Structure 1
Amino acid sequence: MIILVVVISLSVLILVHEFGHFASAKIFGVKVEEFGLGFPPRLFAKKFGETLYSLNLLPFGGFVKIFGEDSDERTPKSFSAEPVWRRSVIILAGVFMNVVLGWLVFSAVFFAGAPSHLFIAQVLPDSPAYEAGLKEGDIVLTAKSGEVVLDDPVPSGEFIGLVNAVSAETLELEIMRGEDVFGVSLKGRENPPEGQGPLGVSLVDVGFAGESFGKSFVKGFQITVSTLKLVAVSFVDFFLKLVVQPGVLETVAGPVGIVALASQAGSLGFVYLFELMAFISVNLAVLNLIPFPALDGGRFLLLIIEKIRMKPISRKVQTAINAFGFVLLLVLMVLITIQDVGRLID
Structure 2
Amino acid sequence: MITVVAGILMLGVLVFIHELGHFCVAKLAGVKVLKFSLGFGPRLVSRTWGETEYLISLIPLGGYVQMLGEGVGEEEEPLTEEEKKRSFAEKAVSRRMAIVAAGPIMNLLLPLMLLPLAYMVGVNVPTFLNDPPCIGYVIESSDAANAGFHAGDCIVSVNDQMVTTWTQTDKSLIPLVGARLHFSVDRQGQIVELAVPAENGSLEGLQSLGLMPMRDAVIGTVNAGMPAQKAGLEVGDRITRIGDEAIDSWYQLHNVIQQLAGDEARFVVHRSGRQLEFDIAPQKAESNVWLIGITPQQMMEQRKYGFFEALQIGVHRTGELIDLTLVFLRKLVAGHVPADNIGGPIMVMQIAGQAAQTDFSTILTVLSFLSIQLGILNLLPIPVLDGGHLFFNLVEIVWRRPLSLRAREVMQQIGLGLLLMLMLLAFYNDIVRLFLQGSG
Report the TM-score range of the alignment, normalised by the length of the smaller protein: 0.7 to 0.9
Partner residue, 2:421: 331
Quick one: distance in 1 between partners of 2:405 and 2:225?
A: 58
Q: Could you tell me whether the CA contact under 8 Å between 1:34 and 1:52 is conserved in 2? A: yes
**Amino acid of the structure 1 residue aligned with 2:241:** G
Shift of 1:192: 5.1
Quick one: distance in 2 between partners of 1:204 and 1:234?
A: 28
Q: Could you tell me whether the CA contact under 8 Å between 1:254 and 1:337 is conserved in 2? A: yes
**Amino acid of the structure 2 residue aligned with 1:65:** Q
Encode CA deviations 1:280-306: one digit per residue, 9 max, x unaligned: 101111111111121111111111111
**Amino acid of the structure 2 residue aligned with 1:98:** N
Shift of 1:115: 4.2
Partner residue, 2:399: 309
What are the equivalent positions in structure 2 for 1:144-223 lying under 5 Å apart?
160=216, 163=217, 173-175=220-222, 185=233, 188-189=241-242, 191=245, 199=253, 205-223=299-317
Partner residue, 2:31: 30
Aligned in 2, Cα 1:181/1:18: closer, same or farther, shift over 3 Å? farther
Encode CA deviations 1:14-67: one digit per residue, 9 max, x unaligned: 121111111100000011111113323113333222212223233344211011
Partner residue, 2:120: 111
Partner residue, 1:133: none
Q: Could you tell me whether the CA contact under 8 Å between 1:115 and 1:269 is conserved in 2? A: no
Q: Could you tell me whether the CA contact under 8 Å between 2:383 and 2:411 is conserved in 1? A: yes
Quick one: distance in 2 between partners of 1:181 and 1:323?
A: 56
Partner residue, 2:51: 50
Partner residue, 1:235: 329
Partner residue, 1:153: none
Quick one: distance in 1 between partners of 2:11 and 2:435?
A: 23
Partner residue, 1:269: 359
Partner residue, 2:381: 291
Q: Could you tell me whether the CA contact under 8 Å between 2:119 and 2:305 is conserved in 1? A: yes
Aligned in 2, Cα 1:3/1:115: closer, same or farther, shift over 3 Å? farther
Shift of 1:229: 1.8
Aligned in 2, Cα 1:124/1:298: closer, same or farther, shift over 3 Å? same
Encode CA deviations 1:96-121: one digit per residue, 9 max, x unaligned: 110121221112211111346789x9
SS in 1 for 2:253: coil
Aligned in 2, Cα 1:192/1:17: closer, same or farther, shift over 3 Å? same
Which structure features the higher share of helix residues? Answer: 1
Quick one: distance in 2 between partners of 1:322 and 1:291?
A: 11
Partner residue, 1:322: 412
**Amino acid of the structure 1 residue aligned with 2:107:** N
Quick one: distance in 2 between partners of 1:268 and 1:48?
A: 36
Q: Rg larger in 1 or in 2?
A: 2
Partner residue, 2:370: 280
Quick one: distance in 1 between partners of 2:398 and 2:9?
A: 41
Shift of 1:203: 7.7
Name the Cα RMSD after superposition.
3.4
Quick one: distance in 2 between partners of 1:207 and 1:254?
A: 32
Shift of 1:123: 10
Quick one: distance in 1 between partners of 2:251 and 2:400?
A: 68
SS in 2 for 1:80: coil
Quick one: distance in 1 between partners of 2:423 and 2:250?
A: 40
Q: Could you tell me whether the CA contact under 8 Å between 2:7 and 2:354 is conserved in 1? A: no
Shift of 1:253: 0.9
Partner residue, 1:21: 22
Aligned in 2, Cα 1:255/1:2: closer, same or farther, shift over 3 Å? same
Quick one: distance in 2 between partners of 1:50 and 1:41?
A: 20
> What is the TM-score normalised by the length of structure 1?
0.75
Partner residue, 2:95: 86
Quick one: distance in 2 between partners of 1:235 and 1:250?
A: 13
Quick one: distance in 1 between partners of 2:352 and 2:64?
A: 23
Quick one: distance in 1 between partners of 2:344 and 2:393?
A: 29
Quick one: distance in 2 between partners of 1:173 and 1:239?
A: 41
Shift of 1:314: 1.1
Aligned in 2, Cα 1:295/1:70: closer, same or farther, shift over 3 Å? same
Aligned length: 298
**Amino acid of the structure 1 residue aligned with 2:11:** L
Shift of 1:84: 1.2
Aligned in 2, Cα 1:200/1:92: closer, same or farther, shift over 3 Å? same
Quick one: distance in 2 between partners of 1:188 and 1:24?
A: 65
SS in 2 for 1:79: coil
Q: Could you tell me whether the CA contact under 8 Å between 1:34 and 1:51 is conserved in 2? A: yes
Quick one: distance in 1 between partners of 2:430 and 2:103?
A: 27
SS in 1 for 2:100: helix
> What is the TM-score normalised by the length of structure 2?
0.60
Q: Which structure 1 segments of 5+ residues have no match?
A: 126-155, 164-170
Shift of 1:193: 8.8
Aligned in 2, Cα 1:172/1:112: closer, same or farther, shift over 3 Å? closer
Aligned in 2, Cα 1:273/1:48: closer, same or farther, shift over 3 Å? closer
